[in-house]
């Protein structure tokens, strides 16, 4: 504080000329001498300074910030110039503008900018909060796992709102008193647990979990917050608390408890409101994530029936299949395949590859019916024509206006690694055979498509695969791929056959990959139909399949040096078995 | 170590002749002998099988093995791996401790060479990770759905062809936006992984061992601040894309190839005597050139393009075709793309690469 | 007639009791729906048309949905007692009909099958 020369009684002669305009000016004006003494004030300044000093005989002082600014202007020794010429007087904020006078006095004009500053501060905070809220949804929805979403919400709450955050998820199972609880605190880890909670014991929690409006923070006594709510490592004690509901899609999606320690400012009203907005975002995101999770679980369950099956070796014959839907975001479509293993090696295995006209889910639903029908008709598979005739009748009487084309193969392993096939095409491209000498043959089967005509007929062809030879069933999506180096050209069966020439001896899996790769490379970025391929391979060497067969169960643990002794023993056991074989 | 190295080299030679003959039985037995003399599975996977598979590629390029042999060898190698490693996930009570975490290994969409990715997956599984191996050609939407369903700690993406880099870039961004850090590997990302950085990957690994080590060190996403979203556009990582050269080349790919072929038919009389199959191969070669040009424009790297041209020249020369046959096509493309400075510079660099080869210098060109 | 595929077009002409539909371009999913709509719109109950001729001279491609449309057209004509003829069939259409065994079904007219036309205008 600068010593004052007391209250000026009114005007006294100074170097500054004073007129009525000066004394009645709306902004406070002070004349200060070179020593910092107040020489003269106008009415506005008198009112301002009297108000701050209080009482009838206020002692007038320059506020520190103005005294600093004054020294700076008068250039007194050992002064450092404060960069700002603004500060608080009483409740208001002022900016000060000096007019130095030759005699050493300085006239200070004080401009009240309290409202502007408030407005700026409010705007800044609003912008900051809008940015926070905009980021919240993005961050929360980037992972569609409920757990990750809850953890991120707790972390964000601590970052933007509080010293600690506790997120109470809806009771699980619903209606019980077991609640998943997630804790986060500044500078600490996010931890989760499930515990028994009596909402009535936490002030405001029962209301929040029912989705009722939050209890104002000032009504909550921090002392009533039970100890379990306070995360470990919280720099206590708790100074203020906000409990806010997480509004979900129509139903509450839990509650968020925000804690600030005694050392920090209590939650102001606008911060509570902001916490509410934040909680609304969190609740919406959590609900979306929950719905997504539930839907994808249901979809996965329903799709399991429609997805193409995993194939492998059955009764000494290799099978491999691969499906690529017309859109890569899909998993199912109008193409399908199945391998129905014979009850024993002496019984034929039935292979089906088919194509329902159309794409996507609609077509996939019909493939499900066709697959089920064929599964039921399996016992009759010794006569392909009979099976296909029955299927045709079934399709004609169904409400669908779609037709189906398919290829059937009945497979039986014979002596010396040879495999006998009976092939029947129902309006489907005839299967190809990759012969051991490198040639690619087209099988001679043909027949009518199913589901469109009252009577249908077929020609079944029988052929034998020698070891290393492969029979390839494919849908027209492969041969009708349009692309090539100059684009727009059909891939075609001739090109497929040419590209497969000399590829005998490849395992079924490799043939299937190869065909898909050829078609994909031909397509480039072009659009395509569903594509499905099944390969039936007569294994080139017998013993490997046997190795596969007995190796799987015992080989876990491998020969890794880091594996403990307990799991090493079965490995040794396996290796003895294998040594016997060799 | 030298013993191991010597043994591994010996096994490699035996495996090499077995896979060339398509003999899966002998091939598998060779690896079992490796186990019997005390080599661990990881060494066998990487230093024997992996090394042989790499040799398959180089020997094919040098025309020392046929395409049929290449396929047979790859197929046999696949089966050998199946026979060598556990078919089910390693149980949690291995020496590595209960849970190392769960990772997904996949190939970039359009990538069909899954073998390197498979070796990585097997090595990680051996080292105690829970690995979901999605195999060749994983469509982006499936990968993201999978990551969300399994809550993977990290994803490893493999790609061998630089032409898949734009797709890889999109997939990397999508994984990161889903909150999963991404490690990439494979020849597509350049010898020193420089394109991995260009595409915003969190990590690059030169090989399976490095990938495993990096994971063990803890792979975290490169986005630290809470509240920031990781969703981004390709041009945010690669500002040069704003010049539209990449976009233009991709959009007019078919036309560029057609016009180049038409130009070649005029300029190179020999072309008129080609068979249909030869025409198709020529068309494919030039489609590849345009694809690699696009990839080089995408990551803005000359070496990507000249490297491809050099490799193609090697392949042609090994088959007694003069690499000079590449030059007219490159010039035609450059003329066609004269408004695009980056593309033109790349094409000229490609032509210079051919010219600088011994025996194909200016003195020898017509 | 507007089609999403600029190459696809249908030209419908009616002369006496003959309804003639010229099909140009790719007969795929969207185009197929248009074809069936156009045919169904003309073959209303009690129609005076006795013949439907589909002219494929300018057909560039047909996929399985296109074939489905032909089969649905066949159902419409037999219900209406109208004879169906497929004129100027390109080779790929004949091959598709042969592969799927639908050639006789589609080119035999009405439900009696007394009139069979071969390739070409017949």
Across the range A209-213, mean pLDDT stands at 83
Categorize the per-residue pLDDT at C44 as very low, low, confident or very high, splitting at 50, 70 and 90.
confident
pLDDT digits (tens, 9 = 90+) for A536-566: 999 875 433 333 333 333 333 333 333 233 3
Categorize the per-residue pLDDT at A440 as very low, low, confident or very high, splitting at 50, 70 and 90.
very high
DSSP character for B269?
G
Can you name the CATH fold of C9-107? Answer: Transcription Regulator spoIIAA (3.30.750)
Q: Please tell me the least confidently modeled range out of A206-210, A360-364, C110-114.
A: C110-114
Helix (H, G, I), strand (E, B), or coil: what is residue B101?
Answer: coil
Asked whether the CA dihedral A339, A343, A349, A354 is positive or negative, the reply is negative
What is the average pLDDT score of chain A?
Answer: 82
Q: What is the pLDDT of residue A87?
A: 87
What is the average pLDDT score of chain C?
Answer: 82
> Chain B residues with CB inside 8 Å of A281's CB?
none
Q: Please name the residues between 198 and 227 in chain B that touch chain A, using a CB distance below 8 Å.
A: 226-227
Q: Please tell me the least confidently modeled range out of A372-386, B328-342, C103-117.
A: C103-117
pLDDT digits (tens, 9 = 90+) for B52-62: 999 998 888 88
- Phi and psi torsions of B351, nearest 5°: -65, -40
CA-based nearest distance B141→chain A, Å: 5
Which of B7, B19, B23, B24 should one mutate to test binding to chain A, selecting the residue with the greatest count of A CBs within 10 A? B24
Q: What is the pLDDT of residue C113?
A: 38
Q: Give the residue with greater pLDDT, A327 vs C28.
A: C28
Q: What is the pLDDT of residue A83?
A: 58
Distances in whole angstroms, Cα of residue A439 to Cα of each of A435, A500, A505, C121 = 5, 8, 12, 40
Sorted by where each starts, the structural domains of chain A and their CATH numbers stand as 20-112 (3.30.450.20), 130-301 (3.30.450.40), 313-540 (3.60.40.10), 545-581 (no CATH)
Interchain contact, C101 vs A448, CB within 8 Å: yes
Categorize the per-residue pLDDT at A1 as very low, low, confident or very high, splitting at 50, 70 and 90.
very low
pLDDT digits (tens, 9 = 90+) for A408-422: 999 999 988 999 999
Categorize the per-residue pLDDT at B335 as very low, low, confident or very high, splitting at 50, 70 and 90.
very high
pLDDT over threshold 80, residue A59: no
pLDDT digits (tens, 9 = 90+) for A191-207: 999 999 999 999 889 88
pLDDT digits (tens, 9 = 90+) for A558-579: 333 332 333 223 333 333 333 3
Interchain contact, A453 vs C72, CB within 8 Å: no
Other CB atoms closer than 10 Å to residue A188's CB: what's the count? 15
Categorize the per-residue pLDDT at A10 as very low, low, confident or very high, splitting at 50, 70 and 90.
very low
Across the range A217-230, mean pLDDT stands at 89
Q: What is the pLDDT of residue A554?
A: 32
Catalogue the long-range contacts made by A268-276 (C-beta closer than 8 Å, 24 or more residues apart). Answer: A270/A125, A271/A161, A271/A242, A272/A214, A272/A216, A272/A217, A272/A242, A272/A244, A274/A129, A274/A161, A275/A161, A275/A242, A275/A244, A276/A214, A276/A244
Q: What is the pLDDT of residue A308?
A: 84
pLDDT digits (tens, 9 = 90+) for A146-166: 888 899 999 999 998 999 999
| CB-based contact, B139 to chain A, within 8 Å | yes
Q: What is the pLDDT of residue A82?
A: 56
Q: Do chains B and A touch (3 or more CB pairs under 8 A)?
A: yes
CA-based nearest distance C86→chain A, Å: 17
How is residue B87 written in tokens? 């078919």
Same fold, B1-84 and B91-237: no
Asked whether the CA dihedral B272, B276, B279, B281 is positive or negative, the reply is negative
How is residue A453 written in tokens? 């005509």
Is 1.10.1240.10 the CATH number for B1-84?
yes
Distance CA A232, CA A12 (A): 68
Can you name the CATH fold of B91-237? Answer: Rossmann fold (3.40.50)
Which residue of chain A comes nearest to B262, CA vs CA? A486
Count of H helices and E strands in chain C?
4, 4
Distance CA B18, CA B275 (A): 36
Categorize the per-residue pLDDT at A44 as very low, low, confident or very high, splitting at 50, 70 and 90.
confident
For chain B, give every domain's residue range.
1-84, 91-237, 242-355
Across the range C102-118, mean pLDDT stands at 59
pLDDT over threshold 50, residue C4: no
Q: Give the residue with greater pLDDT, A55 vs A423.
A: A423
Distance CA C82, CA C50 (A): 5
What are the residues whose beta carbons fall under 8 Å from the beta carbon of B161, sequence distance 6 or more?
B110, B111, B113, B187, B188
> Chain B residues with CB inside 8 Å of A485's CB?
257, 280, 283-284, 286-287
Q: Please name the residues between 172 and 191 in chain B that touch chain A, using a CB distance below 8 Å.
A: 177-179
pLDDT digits (tens, 9 = 90+) for A98-156: 888 888 888 888 888 888 888 888 888 888 888 888 888 878 877 777 888 899 999 99
Categorize the per-residue pLDDT at A54 as very low, low, confident or very high, splitting at 50, 70 and 90.
low
| CB-based contact, C94 to chain A, within 8 Å | no
Are residues B326 and B316 in contact, defined by beta-carbon separation less than 8 angstroms?
Answer: yes
- Report the run of H or E that residue B334 belongs to, with start and end: helix B326-336
Q: What is the pLDDT of residue B68?
A: 73
For chain C, give every domain's residue range.
9-107
Q: What is the pLDDT of residue B3?
A: 66
Which chains contact B through at least 3 pairs of Cβ atoms less than 8 Å apart?
Answer: A
Size of interface A-C (CB pairs under 8 A): 46
Distance CA A460, CA B156 (A): 47
Q: What is the pLDDT of residue A81?
A: 63
Q: What is the pLDDT of residue A77?
A: 54
Q: What is the pLDDT of residue A215?
A: 82
Distance CA B114, CA B157 (A): 11
Q: What is the pLDDT of residue A86?
A: 85
Which residue of chain B comes nearest to A131, CA vs CA? B227
pLDDT digits (tens, 9 = 90+) for B179-229: 899 999 999 999 899 999 889 999 999 999 999 999 988 877 654 444 444
DSSP character for A76?
-
Which chains contact A through at least 3 pairs of Cβ atoms less than 8 Å apart?
Answer: B, C
Q: What is the pLDDT of residue A552?
A: 33
pLDDT digits (tens, 9 = 90+) for B139-187: 888 898 888 888 889 999 999 999 999 999 999 988 988 889 999 999 9
């Amino acid at each position: 504080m600068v010593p004052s020369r007391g209250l000026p009684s009114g005007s006294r002669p100074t170097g500054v000329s004073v007129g009525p305009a000066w004394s009645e000016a709306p902004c406070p004006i002070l004349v200060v001498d070179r020593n910092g003494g107040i020489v003269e004030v106008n009415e506005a300044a008198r009112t301002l300074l009297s108000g701050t000093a209080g009482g009838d005989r206020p002692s007038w002082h320059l506020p520190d910030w103005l005294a600093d600014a004054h020294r700076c202007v008068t250039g007194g020794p050992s002064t450092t110039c404060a960069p700002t010429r603004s500060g608080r007087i009483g409740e208001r904020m002022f900016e000060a503008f000096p007019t130095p006078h030759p005699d050493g006095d300085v006239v200070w004009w004080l401009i009240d900018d309290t409202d502007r500053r408030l407005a700026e501060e409010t705007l800044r905070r609003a912008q900051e909060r809008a940015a926070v809220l905009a980021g919240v949804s993005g961050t929360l929805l980037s992972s569609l796992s409920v757990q990750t979403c809850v953890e991120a919400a707790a972390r964000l709450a601590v970052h933007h709102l509080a010293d600690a955050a506790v997120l109470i998820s809806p009771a699980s199972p619903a209606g019980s008193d077991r609640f998943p609880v997630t804790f986060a605190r500044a500078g600490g880890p996010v931890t989760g647990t499930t515990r028994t909670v009596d909402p009535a014991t936490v002030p405001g929690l029962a209301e929040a979990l029912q989705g009722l409006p939050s209890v104002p923070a000032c009504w909550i006594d921090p002392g009533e917050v039970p100890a379990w709510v306070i995360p470990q490592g919280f720099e206590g004690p708790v100074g203020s608390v906000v409990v806010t509901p997480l509004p979900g899609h129509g139903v509450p999606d839990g509650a968020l408890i925000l804690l600030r320690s005694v050392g920090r400012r209590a939650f102001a009203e606008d911060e509570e409101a902001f916490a509410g907005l934040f909680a609304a975002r969190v609740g919406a995101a959590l609900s979306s994530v929950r719905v997504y999770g539930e839907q994808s679980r249901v979809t996965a369950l329903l799709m399991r029936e429609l997805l193409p099956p995993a194939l492998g070796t059955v009764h000494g014959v290799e099978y491999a299949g691969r499906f690529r839907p017309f859109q890569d975001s899909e998993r199912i479509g109008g193409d399908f395949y199945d391998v129905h293993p014979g009850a024993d090696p002496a019984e034929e295995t039935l292979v089906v590859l088919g194509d329902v006209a159309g794409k996507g889910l609609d077509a996939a639903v019909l493939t499900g019916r066709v697959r089920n029908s064929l599964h039921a008709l399996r016992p009759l598979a010794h006569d392909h024509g009979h099976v296909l005739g029955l299927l045709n009748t079934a399709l004609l009487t169904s409400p669908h206006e779609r037709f189906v084309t398919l290829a059937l193969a009945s497979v039986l392993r014979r002596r010396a690694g040879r495999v006998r096939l009976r092939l029947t095409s129902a309006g489907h491209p005839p299967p190809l055979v990759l012969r051991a000498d490198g040639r690619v043959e087209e099988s001679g089967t043909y027949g009518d498509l199913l589901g469109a005509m009252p009577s249908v007929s077929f020609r079944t062809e029988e052929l034998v695969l020698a070891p290393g030879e492969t029979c390839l069933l494919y849908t027209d999506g492969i041969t009708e791929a349009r692309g090539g180096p100059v684009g727009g050209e059909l891939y075609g069966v001739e090109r497929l056959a040419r590209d497969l020439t000399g590829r005998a001896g490849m395992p079924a899996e490799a043939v299937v990959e190869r065909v898909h790769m050829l078609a994909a490379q031909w397509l480039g970025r072009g659009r395509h139909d569903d594509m499905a391929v099944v390969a039936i391979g007569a294994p080139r060497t017998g013993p490997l399949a046997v190795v596969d067969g007995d190796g799987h169960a015992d080989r876990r643990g491998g020969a890794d040096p880091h594996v403990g002794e307990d799991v090493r023993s079965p490995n040794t056991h396996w290796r003895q078995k294998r040594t016997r074989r060799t | 170590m030298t013993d191991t190295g010597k043994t591994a080299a010996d096994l490699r030679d035996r495996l090499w002749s077995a896979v060339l003959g398509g003999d899966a039985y002998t091939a598998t037995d060779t690896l079992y002998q490796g186990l019997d003399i005390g080599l661990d599975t990881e060494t066998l996977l990487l230093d024997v099988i992996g090394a042989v598979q790499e040799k398959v590629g180089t020997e094919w390029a040098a025309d020392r093995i046929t395409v049929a042999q290449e396929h047979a060898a790859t197929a046999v190698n696949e089966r050998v791996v199946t026979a060598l490693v556990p078919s089910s996930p390693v149980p949690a009570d291995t020496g590595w401790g209960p849970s190392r975490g769960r990772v997904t290994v996949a190939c970039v969409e359009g990538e069909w060479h899954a073998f390197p990715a498979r070796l990585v997956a097997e090595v990680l599984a051996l080292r105690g990770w829970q690995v979901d191996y999605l195999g060749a050609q994983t469509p982006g939407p499936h990968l993201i759905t999978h990551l969300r369903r399994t809550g993977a700690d990290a994803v490893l993406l493999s790609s061998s062809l630089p032409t898949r880099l734009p797709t890889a870039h999109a997939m990397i961004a999508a994984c990161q936006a889903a909150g999963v850090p991404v490690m990439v590997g494979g020849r597509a990302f350049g010898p020193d992984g420089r394109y991995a950085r260009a595409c915003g990957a969190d990590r690059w690994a030169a090989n399976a061992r490095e990938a495993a080590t990096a994971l063990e060190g803890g792979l975290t996403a490169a986005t630290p601040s809470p509240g920031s979203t990781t969703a981004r556009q390709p041009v945010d990582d690669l500002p040069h894309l704003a010049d539209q050269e990449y976009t233009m080349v991709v959009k007019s790919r078919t036309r560029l190839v057609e016009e180049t072929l038409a130009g070649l038919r005029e300029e190179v009389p020999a072309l008129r005597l080609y068979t249909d199959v030869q025409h198709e191969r020529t068309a494919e070669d030039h489609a590849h050139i345009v694809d690699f040009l696009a990839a080089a424009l995408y990551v803005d790297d000359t070496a990507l393009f000249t490297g491809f041209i050099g490799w193609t020249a090697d392949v042609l020369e090994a088959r007694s075709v003069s690499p000079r046959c590449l030059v007219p096509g490159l010039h035609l493309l450059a003329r066609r793309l004269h408004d695009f400075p980056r593309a033109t510079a790349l094409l000229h660099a490609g032509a210079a690469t051919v010219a600088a080869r011994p025996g194909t210098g200016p003195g020898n060109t017509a | 007639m507007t089609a999403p595929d600029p190459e696809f077009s249908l030209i419908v002409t009616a002369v006496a009791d003959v309804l003639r539909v010229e099909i140009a371009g790719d007969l795929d999913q969207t185009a197929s729906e248009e074809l069936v709509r156009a045919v169904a719109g003309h073959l209303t109950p009690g129609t005076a048309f006795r013949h439907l001729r589909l002219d494929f001279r300018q057909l560039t491609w047909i996929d399985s949905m296109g074939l489905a449309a032909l089969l649905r057209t066949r159902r419409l004509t037999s219900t209406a007692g109208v004879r169906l003829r497929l004129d100027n069939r390109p080779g790929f259409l004949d091959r598709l009909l042969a592969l799927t065994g639908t050639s006789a079904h589609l080119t035999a007219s009405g439900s009696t099958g007394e009139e069979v036309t071969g390739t070409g205008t017949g």
